[in-house]
Structure 1
Amino acid sequence: MENDEFTLYDLKVEVTRGEKPFVCSHREGDAFLVQGENLVFPEGGAFSLYTLSALLPLLPAKQRPLQDADWMGTDDIIACPDPNCGARFKITRVGT
């Protein structure tokens, strides 16, 4: 019988400042957590739907163990999908 268990990392996605000013509704320091399959927002927290749609495909990959040479292990700063906005989104593993 095969072992079908695996570990997922919990993530924190935090708004950071890039080189340009923000033009979207982002605020530096805003964040949410990914715990298992759940997105957890702080009480009263908000996050752009458009940014969330750009980040969602990356989150399950960042949750999984990676090979040493996998770029997902080193690329953790994601640009805002609006090319005029200077916001960046840092994805950090915070636990398992």
Structure 2
Amino acid sequence: MNSKEKIESNSLQQKNIIGKWLEEEMLEIAKSLRTEFYELGEVSTETKKRLKEVLEDKNKREKFAEVLSKEVEEEESFDEFMINLISEKDRDN
């Protein structure tokens, strides 16, 4: 591997690490929002501040949207699973 390929490989690894870190941060913010809203009925000032920072940064905003989309898909899959499970149980009775 020549030096140019090595630099490109290292750069790609760094991008992947940053992307994973950013995804985890966005997931944490999404969970905080959901938890605070559903459990407390309001969102803390700190979470609002973090959300504002996300919405003002294009890269963070896009990653946040991806994280939310994944969560919605997972919730829909779980909901579908539960509906099917309940339907099967009803048929058995």
Give the alignment's TM-score, normalised by structure 1.
0.28
Using CA pairs below 8 Å that are at least 6 residues apart, which structure has the higher relative contact order? 1
Give the alignment's TM-score, normalised by structure 2.
0.29
Which is helix-richer, 1 or 2?
Answer: 2
Which is strand-richer, 1 or 2?
Answer: 1
